Amino acid sequence: MTTAQAEEDPDVARFVEEAEASLFDLSAEAQRADWVYATYITPDTEALSAKAYSRVIRATVELAKRSVPLSRVGLSEERRRKLLLLRLSLPLAAPSDPVEGEELTQIVTSLQGMYARGRYAPAGTSAALDLQELSKILGTSREPRELLDVWSGWHRVARPMRPGFTRYVELANKGSRELGFPDTGAMWRSKYDLPPEEFGREVERLWSQVAPLYRSLHAYVRRRLGAAHGESLVPPGGPIPAHLLGNMWAQSWEQILPLLAPPGDGPGFDLTKILLERKTQPLELVRVAERFFVSLGLAPLPESFWERSLFVRPRDREVVCHASAWDLDFVDDLRIKMCIDVSAEDFQTIHHELGHNYYQRAYNRQPFFFRDSAHDGFHEAVGDTIALSVTPEYLRRIGLLADVPDPSNDIAPLLARALEKIAFLPFGLMVDRWRWRVFSGEISPESYNRSWWEMRREYQGVAPSGERGEEEFDPGAKYHVAANVPYMRYFLAGILQFQFHRALARTAGETGPVHRASIYGSHEAGDRLEGMLAMGASRPWPDALEAMTGERRMDASALLEYFAPLQRWLDEQNRGHPIGWTTQE
Ligand code: X8Z
Ligand code: ZN
């Protein structure tokens, strides 16, 4: 290291330092503008945020271009990695033409605003409901006609996004090409310390590990839904209608648990109901989640977190309600922005968001270019890993649950977990497989919607009720598509969190089945976790994975171990019944 540094060209060293300093400033400014926009949407905050974002992008693209010849000179490992990360840091590259650059950031900002302002008044009513209210109906109504109305109503919101999205694909690709990538999808795939094709194969390998479990769950759920709604609506060998799974995107199915659990095998407890009965306030849920992290030996969140976060939907202004975690100064101005609804689902999401905040703070002593996760799937996995320790036994320990369900009956809680985690995986996979094909030009605007539904049917085994023609733009009804957030990270996190959980549970001395383990209160697990978090992006991700788990590959065996009792139970339930679905009409 030292000898390599001694040989280094001082101009290159200066370039890296200056690039880091100037992007630090511009990014902090853009984050503040974005925070103000996302918590107070107006045409003015939209324009200011778009402008600040376009300045960061322009500066990054310019520096990345200038860095190309520099990475050839004898560089230290650290500087070489910084130059690599500089080139990969953007989820959006803009063309260097300033007019096009601003057009692109303006489009991206405004699509996000269109999504946030989306409303629909259900049939026979006059009150226009937001996504959260519509989602609540979708999760609790058992009336197919009402479900379809609410589902279709939300999807209308995305129709007007199509022209903007089409132009965004063109301009983003132009920017990515200027940086030397074939297209934006290829740029996104380059962020994993692997050749992009190899990354694609890794994803496929992980999917093939978990796909059989998904198909078993799908078959079981389809049969129970057929019993609830009739087989004319949910035919045995076909895909499941997308509006019947309790979630706007059919990405997690825990809301329909009451329709699924076999008699006498109920979930044992309903956390949402308990929280509501106790009149738990949104802020208290955040406190409980924070206490989990503190029990691991991590520091409490700073006072400013409590003063500056947005925890509930304000009544008097438009905000981006999709949950997110922020670190405005890249040190400790940590915040979440979330419209908390007192429910088990949001309790889970709060852990998810705090996972981001704890990661951000843990790497805050790294140089700026390394203040990021090992890869983006790591960032998404941390809070979910903690939430896997939110077991019935843990809830009893913190006084939220009076009686722990009989541990001999693990199937119901495992089924509930699977509806959340296993149901998610094919969705987590297909969103970016669709976008990768859009960016590469393989899917053209004339078939955006058709291809979207072909892929949802192929991967998730779900289908829309009725024709969804090209006058619709259903991908835009998902936040991350409208807001240009890459999505493969969630698929990776869906696998990684079980790998993390198993390793931390063992570190904590848990020797029983991994689905019953909780790391609550374990400083050993906390130290192990924090050690990995503090590495930030300073090393290729296999090093970070190894530091925490002793393994260098992403692997779904921990997930399969976690769900093994459920897999056996599903196999029994499905015996003699169809598994899988037709992929053609
Ligand atoms: O977007 C999120 C988080 C913020 S990073 C709330 N998630 C994905 C989604 O909502 O689609 C978490 C699970 C997947
Ligand atoms: Zn997240």
List residues bridging with 325 in a β-sheet. Answer: 336
Two structure tokens written together for 175: 């920017």
Ligand 1 pocket test target in 320, 349, 484 with most atoms within 8 Å of CB: 349
pLDDT at 5 exceeding the cut of 60:
no
Q: State the DSSP H helix or E strand holding residue 63, giving kind and residue range, or none if neither.
A: helix 43-67
Gyration radius of the chain's alpha carbons: 24
Atom of ligand 1 nearest to the CA of 251: 11
Q: What is the mean pLDDT of residues 226-251?
A: 97
Q: How remote is the C-alpha of 159 from its chain's centroid?
A: 23
Q: Could you tell me if 243 and 144 are in contact, meaning their C-beta atoms sit under 8 angstroms apart?
A: yes
pLDDT at 153 exceeding the cut of 90:
yes
Closest residue by CA, ligand 1 atom 8: 490
Q: What is the mean pLDDT of residues 421-442?
A: 98
Q: With left for phi above 0 and alpha for psi between -120 and 50, is residue 250 left, alpha or beta? A: left
Q: What percent of the chain has pLDDT over 90?
A: 91
Q: How far apart are CA 326 and CA 354, in angstroms?
A: 10
Residue 299: how many other CB atoms lie within 10 Å: 12
Dump pLDDT digits (tens) for 440-464.
Answer: 999 999 999 999 999 999 999 999 9
Q: How far apart are CA 308 and CA 363, in angstroms?
A: 21
Q: Hey, what long-range contacts does 574-580 have (CB within 8 A, 24 or more apart)?
A: 574/216, 574/219, 574/220, 574/223, 577/219, 577/223, 577/236, 578/219, 578/236, 578/237, 579/215, 579/216, 579/218, 579/219, 580/215, 580/218, 580/219, 580/237, 580/461
Active-site residue, selected from the candidate residues 218, 352, 375, 501 = 352
Atom of ligand 1 nearest to the CA of 349: 6
DSSP code, position 364: T
Dump pLDDT digits (tens) for 22-50.
Answer: 999 999 999 999 999 999 999 999 999 99
Ligand 1 pocket test target in 324, 347, 376, 380 with most atoms within 8 Å of CB: 380
Residues 6+ apart with CB under 8 A from 352: 323, 380, 383, 384, 387
> What local confidence, expressed as pLDDT, does residue 266 receive?
57
Active-site residue, selected from the candidate residues 120, 168, 459, 490 = 490
> What local confidence, expressed as pLDDT, does residue 2 receive?
45
Q: How far apart are CA 411 and CA 415, in angstroms?
A: 6
pTM to 2 decimal places: 0.97
Dump pLDDT digits (tens) for 371-392.
Answer: 999 999 999 999 999 999 999 9
> What local confidence, expressed as pLDDT, does residue 583 receive?
85
Closest residue by CA, ligand 1 atom 13: 490
Using DSSP's 3-state secondary structure scheme, residue 269 falls into coil
The residue count of the chain comes to: 585
Lowest-confidence segment of 64-73, 346-355, 532-541 by average pLDDT: 64-73
Q: Could you tell me if 517 and 510 are in contact, meaning their C-beta atoms sit under 8 angstroms apart?
A: yes
Dump pLDDT digits (tens) for 82-104.
Answer: 999 999 999 999 999 999 999 99
List residues bridging with 133 in a β-sheet. Answer: none
Is residue 404 very low, low, confident or very high in pLDDT (cuts 50, 70, 90)?
confident
> What local confidence, expressed as pLDDT, does residue 8 receive?
72
Q: Is 103 a catalytic residue?
A: no
Mean pLDDT value across the chain: 95
> What local confidence, expressed as pLDDT, does residue 269 receive?
77
Ligand 1 pocket test target in 384, 388, 490, 491 with most atoms within 8 Å of CB: 490
pLDDT at 1 exceeding the cut of 50:
no
Q: What is the mean pLDDT of residues 323-342?
A: 98
pLDDT at 585 exceeding the cut of 80:
no
Q: Is 62 a catalytic residue?
A: no
Q: How far apart are CA 582 and CA 585, in angstroms?
A: 7
pLDDT at 3 exceeding the cut of 60:
no
Between 264 and 260, the more confident residue is 260
Q: Is 490 a catalytic residue?
A: yes
How close is the Cα of 495 to the center of ligand 2, in Å? Answer: 14
**Which-ligand-closest: CA of 350?**
1
pLDDT at 403 exceeding the cut of 90:
no
Active-site residue, selected from the candidate residues 318, 480, 534, 551 = 480
Q: How far apart are CA 505 and CA 474, in angstroms?
A: 40
How close is the Cα of 356 to the center of ligand 2, in Å? Answer: 7
Q: How far apart are CA 305 and CA 303, in angstroms?
A: 5
Q: Which of 268, 313, 387, 300 is nearest to 130 (CA)?
A: 313
> What local confidence, expressed as pLDDT, does residue 70 receive?
85
Considering Cα of 558, then 561, then 566, then 572, what sign does the dihedral take? positive
Q: Could you tell me if 338 and 321 are in contact, meaning their C-beta atoms sit under 8 angstroms apart?
A: yes
490 CB near ligand 1 (under 6 Å): yes
Q: What is the mean pLDDT of residues 465-492?
A: 97
List residues bridging with 337 in a β-sheet. Answer: 310, 324
State which amino acid sits at residue 466.
G
Is residue 4 very low, low, confident or very high in pLDDT (cuts 50, 70, 90)?
very low
